[in-house]
Amino acid sequence: MKQIAFALALTLAAPAAWAADKLPLSQISNYLNGLKTVQTTFTQVNDDGSLSTGRLWLERPGKMRFEYDPPNDAVVLARSGSVLIYDAKSNQPPEQYPLRRTPLSLVLARNVNLSQANMVVGHDFDGTATVVTAQDPKNPESGRIELMFTDNPIELRKWVIHDNAGTQTTVLLGPLSEGGRLDQSLFSDSKKRGSSDR
């Protein structure tokens, strides 16, 4: 289950777009700050090559919900400065981690500012997309997050978490739905949502 804790990595997949040049960090920060609510599906590629699927809800600042499909059936919630991992197969209380100790905190922050000193450790262009590698300058031991953006319009396409144990996890998301109000019970209820909510 700890692997899921560090699997808070996303790719907001969109139709193919080609970036003409490296996007400036200020433009990427503005794009992330503009993501207020998001709903989508995801496919997670784990470090061992195994796959998981599920659904995701995000509300900035500070809230996110991952719901994993069977046979995993886990739920991961980010809220009130904490990340909670609920294992549907266990009767134990959820595992809990400080949100600030995960790279997810960089995306869920009230104000994303990638120009902060020592936050961005890589800013490259691979010929089709801008790749930004970032860490929390106050908690670099918490791992790094690698984000890939295409341009015209700017889209976050890939997000890879590199944790402090040397593993990496990638999550690819389906078309995202932005805006609108989200049911706040999503961030306080660990129960799986029924098919009627899909």
Q: Tell me how far apart the alpha carbons of residues 138 and 130 are, in angstroms, rounded to a whole number.
A: 24
**pLDDT for residue 55:** 95
In a domain, 170, yes or no: yes
- Comparing 51-65, 72-86, 144-158, the range with the smallest average pLDDT is 144-158
Within a domain: 179? no
pLDDT tens for residues 97-130? 898 888 888 889 999 999 988 899 999 998 888 9
Please indicate, yes or no, if residue 99 is contained in any of the structural domains: yes
pLDDT at 173: 75
The answer to whether residue 198 is domain-embedded is no
The token pair at 141 is 């031991």
Read off the pLDDT band of 92 (50, 70, 90): confident
Residue 54 one-letter amino acid: G
Q: How confident is the model at residue 189 (pLDDT cuts 50, 70, 90)?
A: confident
Mean pLDDT on 53-61? 94
What backbone phi and psi angles, to 5 degrees, belong to 197? Answer: -90, -5
Tokens describing residue 163: 């944790």
| pTM (two decimals) | 0.80
User: What proportion of the chain, given as a percentage, has pLDDT over 70?
Assistant: 87
- Asked if residue 195 has pLDDT above 80, the reply is no
Q: Would the pLDDT of 1 be above 60? A: no
Q: Is residue 192 part of a domain?
A: no
Residue 119 confidence (pLDDT): 92
Token output for 114 = 């990638």
Instruction: Report if residue 41 sits inside a domain.
Output: yes
- Distance CA(78)–CA(5), nearest Å, equals 10
Six-digit token pair at 140? 């670099």
pLDDT-based confidence at 194, cuts 50/70/90? low
Query: Which tens digit of pLDDT belongs to each residue from 123-141?
Result: 999 888 899 999 988 888 8
Q: CATH number of the domain that 21 lies in? A: 2.50.20.10
- Domain assignment of residue 68, given as a range: 2-174
**Torsional sign, CA 160, 164, 166, 167:** negative
State the total domains in the chain. 1
DSSP 93: P
Q: Is residue 95 part of a domain?
A: yes
30 domain residue, yes or no:
yes
